[in-house]
Amino acid sequence: MPSLERFSHHIPGDERSRTHPGHGYPAHTVTETVIKTFNSKEEWEAWIVKEEESSFTEEYTPIVYREASVKTTVTVDTQIET
């Protein structure tokens, strides 16, 4: 049972971008989405309860999915010219 977690990190700009606009690295925010996986449904549910009770909860989305069953077929067609 996985959950999607979203985090935002602020990256401060460097001195050059403040003193010489258009140069250096300006301040910006980086947002990332992480897939958090669990070994059991019980572990997943306990994590959700903990997140809901915390005042520092990041944005998250519990998800349920079914793994696809993939079937592969190989065909070999040979012709021998005589």
Other CB atoms within 10 A of residue 5 CB? 16
Tens of pLDDT, residues 21-35: 888 888 899 998 888
**Structure confidence at residue 67 as a pLDDT band (50, 70, 90):** confident
Domain ranges of the chain: 2-62
8 A C-beta contact, residue 11 and residue 19: no
Check residue 71 and give its pLDDT: 94
What average pLDDT does range 59-66 have in this prediction? 83
Interatomic CA distance for residues 18 and 29, integer angstroms? 16
Q: Check residue 30 and give its pLDDT.
A: 92
Mean pLDDT of the chain: 86
CA-wise closest residue to 5 among 49, 44, 57, 54: 57
Check: pTM over 0.85? Answer yes or no: no
